[in-house]
Amino acid sequence: MRIATWNVNSVVARLPRLHEWLESAQPDVLCLQETKCAGDAFPADGVIERGYQVAAHGDGRWNGVAILSRVGLADVTRGFPGQPGYAPPPPAPPDGEDVLLPVAPSAPVVEARAIGATCGGVRIWSLYVPNGRALDSPHYAYKLEWLAALRSALEAELTAVGDLPFLVVGDFNIAPTDDDVFDPAFFVGSTHVTEAERQALRALLELGFRDIIPRPLKYDRPFTYWDYRAGMFPKNQGMRIDLVLANERAAARITDAYVDREARKGKGPSDHAPVVVDLDL
């Protein structure tokens, strides 16, 4: 079975490339992140024609996740128990103006960042972990809270799946080590590389998951994300933040793992490339 994960950075904008990639890579299951469309508005026509069932979760904003499967799609869950919401801080008053009345805080919104399904006897979760934005941002605290809640949910899920192979894949917005960024000095003071984020990721691995590191292809370090700024992709100035976590049952069956850099090339690509794993079931 071939399983892949890809942050497409808008499924509508990337639709022709998505169809082309499904034809060329022939994944049995494809997990998508940052679809940026409502769940019931997912553009499924060309996907269904290629033999895939679709489970999507989105609210039409900047998040959204989905699972495409041609080996069955059962026990779909959207979100996870205890998933926290995010309440953006109230806007600051214009310069030179005083706030006479208190501003009511926004209600937390549980974002569309997680979906799970059982596909061909494999339990799979597709995740889009919050970005964090900046170390002094409320979004960073939200990211850590989200990851702590995810750990509790995965601990329960591991018990529920029993002997099934179980993969947790997606855009984690965390580079696990300094080897997973092109230059650690470039990221000092930024999110994605802090000890708190990496410790949250290690806490997930301690549940019994393995971080499946793709084999090198063109470069020694298999990055999955490159900023759109000119030159960063051809120079391989990227990060490995799109991850595949596998329980022991799944990890023992993985025969190959790689990053499809070709999908990052050309006109109008996502800033992420797909990560592909093959399992012998």
Q: Measured between alpha carbons, how far is 53 from 2 in angstroms, rounded to an integer?
A: 15
Task: Supply the pTM of this predicted model.
Answer: 0.95
pLDDT in tens, the chain (281 residues): 999 999 999 999 999 999 999 999 999 999 999 999 999 999 999 999 999 999 999 998 889 999 999 999 999 999 999 999 999 887 766 665 555 556 666 889 999 999 999 999 999 999 999 999 999 999 999 999 999 999 999 999 999 999 999 999 999 999 999 999 999 999 999 999 999 999 999 999 999 999 999 998 888 899 999 999 989 999 999 999 999 999 999 999 999 999 999 999 999 999 999 999 999 99
Within the chain, where are the H helices?
A: 15-25, 45-49, 138-161, 195-205, 248-251
Per-residue model confidence (pLDDT) at position 61? 84
Domain extents in the chain = 2-85+108-279
Indicate the fold that domain 2-85+108-279 takes in CATH.
Answer: Deoxyribonuclease I; Chain A (3.60.10)
Q: What is the DSSP string of 141-166?
A: HHHHHHHHHHHHHHHHHHHHHTTS-E
Per-residue model confidence (pLDDT) at position 68? 98
